[in-house]
Structure 1
């Protein structure tokens, strides 16, 4: 049934947009006094938007990012030579 490996790719322009959005969300969380890394991780794991502040439209922005694409970009960045 599932005998072939699936491939998954994210275009570079999509990665740049995700980076821009994450940076804005990070800044908004920091401005409101939250631990941005913990809040973003909570959102990624649960997809619960209440982890993200509405300050500077951050909650709406982060919902524009596909979590699968974000995780792929993060793993790629972490493992890049």
Structure 2
């Protein structure tokens, strides 16, 4: 059978599982640490300004962080903070 007779399967990137905001933030954090940047300062700089130059291309971090809107990343941070810092009002 000639190779021209075979069907080639084409995969669109949309088939990939989309990374959650949590996964993105953790991956970006790891890339920043590996590059010896202060990850908190760099991520805050990006979230406030929207300038992707705060995030390195190392380990595809810049491309990864731009897959989500900044408000989605901030929402994840607020949700995590509140879930882990609830004060018991009964004390």
Please report the TM-score for the alignment, with normalisation by the length of structure 1.
Answer: 0.74
Question: Do residues 45 (structure 1) and 48 (structure 2) align?
Answer: yes
Q: Which runs of 5+ in 1 are unaligned?
A: 1-13
Q: Which runs of 4+ in 1 moved over 3 A?
A: none
Query: Where does residue 4 of structure 1 map in the other structure?
Result: none
Deviates more, 1:45-54 or 1:66-75: 66-75
Question: Do residues 60 (structure 1) and 57 (structure 2) align?
Answer: no
Deviation for aligned residue 1:76:
1.8
Query: Where does residue 18 of structure 1 map in the other structure?
Result: 21
Deviation for aligned residue 1:59:
0.4
Larger Rg: 2
Deviation for aligned residue 1:46:
0.2
Q: Which has the higher contact order (CA 8 A, sep 6+)?
A: 1
Equivalent pairs counted in the alignment come to 67
Q: Which runs of 5+ in 2 are unaligned?
A: 1-17, 87-91
Question: Do residues 77 (structure 1) and 74 (structure 2) align?
Answer: no
Provide Cα deviations, 1:21-61, integer angstroms capped at 9, x if missing partner: 11111111111110011000000000000000001110000
Q: Distance in 2 between matches of 1:62 and 1:72?
A: 14
